[in-house]
Chains A and B, each alone.
Chain A
């Protein structure tokens, strides 16, 4: 009888510790999850902004004068050839 009581008291105590341990672990994981979610949100926002900025920098209005300073011009008809048509592609 005594053994039963003592062991069950021990069991109760042990499971209580386990439970509180789990509780804190859960909270920690939750906090971590929130942090990761925030980081993911932030990353998504940053990606959206960077994407928009890249598109803005790559807009043709800006690229064209830059390309022209390097001596580049729009592709002309002499630069196009169908497969098997390479000889005549030189144009006039």
Chain B
């Protein structure tokens, strides 16, 4: 303000200077000449200053955000992207929900607050509320996170001072427990605890936000197919009822890319209930536990024998005599009574034959081949590490024999399913993944076995289903060329194995001439019900379950039915003794000493 005024004075002085060349006194005369105009000039100048000042103020103010935030500076929640299935159907999403908090300093009567709140929110612990409200130095305590709008209104209507709401993000799982184990869960702050939810946190897709700002990120596209997942869930539940089983598990995996299109472990887990994850009985049987898998491991044994050029599918082994190893005797439950070809050893699931093939290869080659199949090294999927394989402490003759038919080593079913996919897909390694792979991204894995070995394995697996003596006859799905291998493993208990308490499984692929999917079905402790023809063996429960499953999901997955009509087992044929409990009834009881007490304990 001052500089302008002085400038004005000087200008007037300069004007009068030009008019008269009088002395300094004259100049002062001229300056004072019209006090009114000076005053006017001053006030106009002041007005301009005021206008200028105001415009500067507005200009400066306009630069910061027009909206101001009333929330505190620390992030209050975490925004997560949606999780969708391979076709974009929603599996998990954030929704905004009010959460109730209290400012103890503003609460007038904490007993009244606790009582009234408990009436509206019955599951609220009254004593806990009193305790929280007792400390008046705390200005913020959560009382209840994630209320429904209706309950929030009811609490609001109580009109209690000191209570308020903050809007928060809560995770919603529209599909419920359908894919609970895979999706995982989040904690109360919306951070991932397990499964794909934790993968989201670890991959940096979760952003801290103030209040309830929804994530702007693109949804995470999983490899799951909700339709196939539902079909698997239903078929497993039906099988549990039909065979009175304690649990069931199944996985359907792309035979080349390893994409898991459906995976379920029953009893299931609801992602909305964190407690389910901690519950041992609901543990994910596919990736969270290891089991002795039984005869399905013969796939690996026969592949080893053929891939090494050690034998061909048609060469003959004399399996009539039980196998002696030290003080152990391994025998078949239903001996063939004649020498069998390697193909027949696989198809009839002969323990003696598998043991002989393993002994011919020797422990070192067996171990190296299992390593090549990816059965020795622990693996991981996006939902975390898969339970590590439990290997025998010593890999001697007896272990070589028992490992050949799937005992003495405990594996996560998901890990073996991936190895089996590699055996049938032309011989390249498969890494299970829960994320969708675009056609271009899915490169084939490294070579595991030769294409020829893979072709022979496909042929043997197909024959296991079509052959009259095949253990997997009941896996013949109408219209689809299914092939596979059955396995009935006795459950180990301390000091041995439990008679008639088994895990029965069927590991198959379809369509068998060029497999697109590998399917594993497992039933835990099935009973010899009428539907299972009074047996607990996989050929009578897991195999027919696999057939139903494949008939149902193949159309969903767009697998074309086979052109020619298939021989279909109508279920009325008499149970062939050769169909028997495949591997394991006798041998493991003897071999149970192989250092495996309690491994693969029934976890359900």
Q: Which residues in A have some Cβ–Cβ distance to B below 8 Å? A: 1-2, 5, 8-9, 12-13, 15-16, 19-20, 22-23, 26, 30, 33-34, 37, 44-45, 48-49, 51-56, 58-61, 64, 74-82, 85, 88, 91-92
* Given A52-B90, A52-B93, 12 more pairs with CB closer than 8 A: A19-B51, A33-B67, A45-B96, A48-B94, A48-B214, A56-B175, A58-B174, A76-B551, A77-B551, A79-B555, A85-B563, A91-B565
Q: Is the CB of A9 within 8 A of B47?
A: yes
Contact A77:B47 (CB < 8 A) given known A1-B37, A26-B62: no
Q: 1/0 contact trace for B44-63 toward A, CB 8 Å?
A: 10011011001100100010
Q: Is the CB of A16 within 8 A of B47?
A: yes
Residues of B within 8 A of A34 (CB): 66-67
Residues of B within 8 A of A74 (CB): 231, 552, 555-556
Cβ of B176 within 8 Å of any chain A Cβ, yes or no, is yes
Q: Is the CB of B230 within 8 A of A61?
A: yes
**Which residue on chain B has the smallest CB distance to residue A16?**
B51
Alpha-carbon distance between A16 and B43 when the two chains are bound, in angstroms: 14
Cβ of B403 within 8 Å of any chain A Cβ, yes or no, is no
Q: Is the CB of A88 within 8 A of B174?
A: no
Which among A22, A37, A49 is the interface contact of B95 at CB below 8 angstroms? Answer: A49
Residues of A within 8 A of B51 (CB): 12, 15-16, 19
Which among A5, A12, A52 is the interface contact of B174 at CB below 8 angstroms? Answer: A52
Cβ of B362 within 8 Å of any chain A Cβ, yes or no, is no
Residues of A within 8 A of B480 (CB): 77
CB distance from B493 to the nearest CB of A (A): 36
A-B contact pairs, 8 of them (CB 8 A): A5-B40, A12-B47, A19-B58, A34-B66, A45-B96, A54-B174, A59-B174, A74-B555
Cβ of B554 within 8 Å of any chain A Cβ, yes or no, is yes
Contact A12:B93 (CB < 8 A) given known A33-B67, A61-B178, A85-B563: no
Residues of A within 8 A of B226 (CB): 60
Q: Is the CB of B44 within 8 A of A5?
A: yes
Q: Is the CB of B563 within 8 A of A88?
A: yes
Q: Is the CB of B561 within 8 A of A80?
A: yes
Q: Is the CB of A52 within 8 A of B227?
A: no
Cβ of B478 within 8 Å of any chain A Cβ, yes or no, is yes
Residues of A within 8 A of B227 (CB): 60
Which among A16, A54, A78 is the interface contact of B50 at CB below 8 angstroms? Answer: A16
Alpha-carbon distance between A1 and B552 when the two chains are bound, in angstroms: 99
CB distance from A34 to the nearest CB of B (A): 6
Most buried by B among A23, A33, A55, A80: A55
Cβ of B161 within 8 Å of any chain A Cβ, yes or no, is no
Q: Is the interface of A mostly helix, strand, loop or mixed?
A: helix
Which among A8, A44, A53 is the interface contact of B44 at CB below 8 angstroms? Answer: A8
Cβ of B89 within 8 Å of any chain A Cβ, yes or no, is yes
Q: Which are the 3 A-B pairs with shortest beta-carbon distances? A: A77-B479, A55-B174, A60-B230
Q: Is the CB of A45 within 8 A of B212?
A: yes
Q: Is the CB of A49 within 8 A of B96?
A: yes
Cβ of B7 within 8 Å of any chain A Cβ, yes or no, is no
Alpha-carbon distance between A86 and B54 when the two chains are bound, in angstroms: 81
Cβ of B560 within 8 Å of any chain A Cβ, yes or no, is yes
Which among B37, B55, B67, B94 is the interface contact of A5 at CB below 8 angstroms? Answer: B37
Cβ of B172 within 8 Å of any chain A Cβ, yes or no, is yes
Residues of A within 8 A of B94 (CB): 48
Contact A13:B58 (CB < 8 A) given known A75-B555, A77-B554, A80-B555: no
Q: Is the CB of B89 within 8 A of A55?
A: yes
Which among B44, B174, B558 is the interface contact of A56 at CB below 8 angstroms? Answer: B174
Q: Is the CB of A30 within 8 A of B47?
A: no
Cβ of B391 within 8 Å of any chain A Cβ, yes or no, is no
Q: Find residues 224-247 in chain B having any chain A CB closer than 8 Å to their own CB.
A: 226-227, 229-231, 234
Which among A26, A33, A45, A52 is the interface contact of B58 at CB below 8 angstroms? Answer: A26
Q: Is the CB of B479 within 8 A of A2?
A: no
Q: Is the CB of A23 within 8 A of B58?
A: yes
Residues of B within 8 A of A85 (CB): 563
CB distance from A7 to the nearest CB of B (A): 9
Cβ of B41 within 8 Å of any chain A Cβ, yes or no, is yes
CB distance from A60 to the nearest CB of B (A): 4
Q: Find residues 325-384 in chain B having any chain A CB closer than 8 Å to their own CB.
A: none
Alpha-carbon distance between A58 and B91 when the two chains are bound, in angstroms: 11
Q: Is the CB of B58 within 8 A of A64?
A: no
CB distance from B74 to the nearest CB of A (A): 20
Q: Is the CB of B62 within 8 A of A45?
A: no
Q: Is the CB of A19 within 8 A of B90?
A: no
Q: Is the CB of A59 within 8 A of B175?
A: yes
Q: Is the CB of A64 within 8 A of B40?
A: no
Residues of A within 8 A of B176 (CB): 59, 61
Q: Is the CB of A12 within 8 A of B48?
A: yes
Residues of A within 8 A of B214 (CB): 44-45, 48
Alpha-carbon distance between A64 and B234 when the two chains are bound, in angstroms: 11
Most buried by A among B95, B214, B478, B556: B95
Q: Is the CB of B67 within 8 A of A37?
A: yes
Alpha-carbon distance between A52 and B551 when the two chains are bound, in angstroms: 31
Which among B47, B91, B560 is the interface contact of A80 at CB below 8 angstroms? Answer: B560
CB distance from B174 to the nearest CB of A (A): 3
CB distance from A6 to the nearest CB of B (A): 8
CB distance from A24 to the nearest CB of B (A): 11
Residues of A within 8 A of B41 (CB): 5
**Which residue on chain B has the smallest CB distance to residue A20?**
B54
Q: Is the CB of B175 within 8 A of A19?
A: no
Alpha-carbon distance between A92 and B561 when the two chains are bound, in angstroms: 12
Residues of B within 8 A of A82 (CB): 560
Q: Is the CB of B96 within 8 A of A48?
A: yes
Q: Is the CB of A75 within 8 A of B556?
A: yes
Alpha-carbon distance between A80 and B67 when the two chains are bound, in angstroms: 57
